[in-house]
Amino acid sequence: MISMKLLNLARIIFIVLVVSLLLSCAGLKSKTDVQEEFDLGLSLFNRGKYDDALLHFEKATELDPKFGLAYLYIGKSCLNLGKWREAVPSLRTAYRLAPEETKEEVINMFMDFLLQNLSETDLDSAPQIEDLLKEQ
């Protein structure tokens, strides 16, 4: 009777350990997938393929909604595609998730973008740009 209880206890401990090991491996794979998606996006971004890069950065944020750097590059990709309106929410999220890493970069991106495109931007849309920047 005692040996049967010990055997059952050993089985339960074994099952718990196996399940714990499998769950921890699943978490590692997920982080690896997130980093792989981000790295693919970064490679495409660095080659000027912003539309393609955007898909990988978005996938990385789906896998890890707290991956601030991916949001930053979603914003950068949108800015490079001339989609400044779409860039703002991602840049805000990047700022919120990792302000110490992204604060200065986000501000510099907005300023660079505005200065580079000021001559191309319709002056009538200047108040809209100002409103978007104030919505923090």
Q: Report pLDDT digits (tens) over 78-87.
A: 989 989 889 9
Does residue 21 belong to any structural domain of this protein? no
Does residue 60 belong to any structural domain of this protein? yes
pLDDT digits (tens, 9 = 90+) for 93-119: 998 887 776 778 877 777 777 777 665
Does residue 20 belong to any structural domain of this protein? no
In single-letter form, the type of residue at position 5 comes to K
User: How many Å apart are CA 122 and CA 58, to the nearest integer?
Assistant: 29
Report the CATH number at residue 73. 1.25.40.10
| pTM of this prediction exceeds 0.85 | no
Q: Are 48 and 15 in contact (CB under 8 A)?
A: no
Which segments of the chain does DSSP mark as H helices, in order?
2-46, 50-63, 68-80, 84-97, 99-117, 126-134
Indicate the number of domains in the chain: 1
Print the domain residue range for 81: 26-118+128-134
Does residue 15 belong to any structural domain of this protein? no
pLDDT digits (tens, 9 = 90+) for 60-72: 999 999 999 999 9
Does residue 68 belong to any structural domain of this protein? yes
Does residue 80 belong to any structural domain of this protein? yes
